[in-house]
Amino acid sequence: QVQLVESGGGLVQAGGSLRLSCAVSGSIASINAMGWYRQAPGKQRELVATISSGGNTNYADSGKGRFTISRDNAKNTVYLQMNSLKPEDTAVYYCNADVKERGYYYSRNYWGQGTQVTVSS
């Protein structure tokens, strides 16, 4: 069974930085795209950034120039470095991964449990 465990959230002042991590564990054959999404109170979950298995990245406009997504394939881990944080970045951040498990022909999409990021003004 595949699990995604996020860490690194917390409370930070505006202008500060946080680094989120998400470790994928289980019977993994390969991991395709990985990404970060966020959901603020009363709003829909939205894309923050994605990264392909080959390292190609995609960012929502809200994070361009401030956020950097990266991954360590040897550790099955994806990171999100967030700089120049703003109060509007406050949300629960969710990790997402497209994982092919050993013995399976197809991949499945998995979500982490979420980590709270709060940016004070």
CB–CB of 4/24 below 8 Å? yes
What is the average pLDDT across 22-39?
Answer: 97
Q: For residue range 76-117, list pLDDT tens digits in order.
A: 999 999 999 999 999 999 999 999 999 999 999 999 999 999
CB–CB of 98/85 below 8 Å? no
pLDDT at 65: 96
pLDDT at 62: 96
Confidence of residue 64 (pLDDT cuts 50, 70, 90): very high
User: How high does pLDDT run on average in the chain?
Assistant: 97
Confidence of residue 3 (pLDDT cuts 50, 70, 90): very high
What is the average pLDDT across 58-68?
Answer: 97
CB–CB of 6/110 below 8 Å? no
pLDDT at 19: 98
What is the average pLDDT across 46-53?
Answer: 98
Confidence of residue 71 (pLDDT cuts 50, 70, 90): very high
Q: Which residues contact 10 (CB under 8 A, 6 or more apart)?
A: 18, 116, 117, 118
Give the 3-state secondary structure of residue 61: helix
Q: Sort 81 into a burial class: Cβ within 10 Å, 0-12 / 13-18 / 19+.
A: middle
